């Protein structure tokens, strides 16, 4: 299936750079088309380094700054930092409430998050973020008796219409990102602490991978997703 228009989108990403590597071209396209796109970053990313001289609290600050730089590339409507500990996300009530709060606050039509059920090796934070985001959509953000304290704050229940999963095992939706490759790479390389500077060799490898995805649907470059329609 080829993707159609999206009005408002909430992105729930485990770490500061995950959405760039998994769906950066699509996010860049949405931003260029004037969609309201808000990014929710679940963890502080404070363990994402092999440099033993870097302190976790300093890395967390660096990664927030990098995320804000990437957001400028995309033209995002906003960024929300939950600042939960890196490598410690759990499927629990505390985390779920935070995601439900963001859904009710921003009222997206589409929620984009990571595929939670990849087999074998997977990053636990990815699995937890995807799983909790899906549970937050249904039934929690829909039902007024789930976290009723939100009502006192003026946050009404909300029904997300669609979920898009990046890094999906069985994708069924493809987005043409041919015209947004440069923006994708610029946003990704805003995360200098994670990916380093841009290089022609790395860009070429990325182009080849996105071209392979595009061949499946007839686009020069594409990203793929699992799309789940919930409410209409």
43-52 tens-digit pLDDT:
999 999 999 9
Report yes or no on 163 lying in a domain. Answer: yes
pLDDT of residue 1: 55
pLDDT of residue 231: 73
Report yes or no on 2 lying in a domain. Answer: no
| % of the chain at pLDDT higher than 70 | 97
Please, is 226 exposed, middle or buried when counting C-beta atoms within 10 Å of its C-beta (0-12, 13-18, 19+)?
Answer: middle
CA quadruple 186, 184, 42, 124: dihedral, nearest 10: -110
* pLDDT at residue 117 greater than cutoff 60: yes
Report yes or no on 3 lying in a domain. Answer: no
Q: Give residues with Cβ within 8 angstroms of 38, minimum separation 6.
A: 9, 10, 11, 76, 77, 78, 79, 80, 102, 106, 108
* pLDDT at residue 189 greater than cutoff 80: yes
pLDDT-derived band at 147 (thresholds 50, 70, 90) equals very high
| Cα–Cα distance, 41 to 104 (Å, whole number) | 16
Residue 154 sits in which domain range?
A: 8-229
Report the CATH number that the domain containing residue 158 is assigned in CATH: 3.40.50.10320
Q: Tell me the whole-structure pTM to 2 decimals.
A: 0.94
Number of domains in the chain: 1
pLDDT of residue 2: 55
- Work out the average pLDDT over 115-132: 92
pLDDT of residue 183: 97
What are the tens digits of pLDDT across the range 31-77? 999 999 999 999 999 999 999 999 999 999 999 999 999 999 999 99
pLDDT-derived band at 116 (thresholds 50, 70, 90) equals very high
pLDDT-derived band at 180 (thresholds 50, 70, 90) equals very high
Q: Is the dihedral of CA 54, 57, 58, 61 positive or negative?
A: positive
* pLDDT at residue 232 greater than cutoff 80: no
pLDDT-derived band at 118 (thresholds 50, 70, 90) equals confident
| Cα–Cα distance, 73 to 34 (Å, whole number) | 13
Report yes or no on 27 lying in a domain. Answer: yes
pLDDT of residue 192: 92
pLDDT-derived band at 128 (thresholds 50, 70, 90) equals very high
Q: Give residues with Cβ within 8 angstroms of 95, minimum separation 6.
A: 42, 84, 89, 128, 132
Token pair of 180, please?
């947004």
Report yes or no on 136 lying in a domain. Answer: yes
């Amino acid at each position: 299936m080829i993707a159609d228009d999206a009005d408002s989108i909430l992105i729930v990403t485990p770490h500061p750079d995950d959405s760039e590597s998994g769906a950066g071209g699509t996010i860049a396209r949405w931003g260029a088309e004037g969609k309201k796109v808000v990014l929710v970053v679940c963890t502080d990313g404070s363990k994402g380094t092999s440099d033993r001289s870097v302190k976790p609290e300093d890395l967390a600050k660096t990664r927030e700054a990098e995320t804000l730089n990437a957001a400028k590339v995309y033209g995002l409507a906003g960024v929300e930092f939950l600042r939960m500990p890196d490598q410690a996300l759990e499927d629990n009530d505390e985390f779920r409430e935070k995601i439900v709060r963001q859904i009710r606050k921003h009222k997206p039509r589409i929620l984009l998050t990571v595929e939670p059920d990849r087999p074998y090796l997977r990053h636990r934070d990815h699995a937890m973020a995807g799983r909790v985001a899906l549970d937050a959509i249904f039934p929690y953000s829909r039902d007024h008796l789930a976290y009723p304290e939100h009502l006192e704050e003026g946050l009404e229940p909300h029904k997300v219409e669609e979920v898009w999963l990046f890094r999906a095992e069985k994708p069924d939706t493809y987005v043409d990102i041919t015209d947004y490759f440069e923006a994708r790479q610029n946003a990704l390389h805003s995360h200098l602490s994670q990916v380093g500077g841009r290089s022609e060799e790395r860009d070429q490898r990325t182009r080849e991978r996105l071209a392979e995805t595009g061949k499946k649907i007839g686009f020069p470059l594409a990203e793929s997703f699992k799309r789940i329609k919930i409410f209409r």
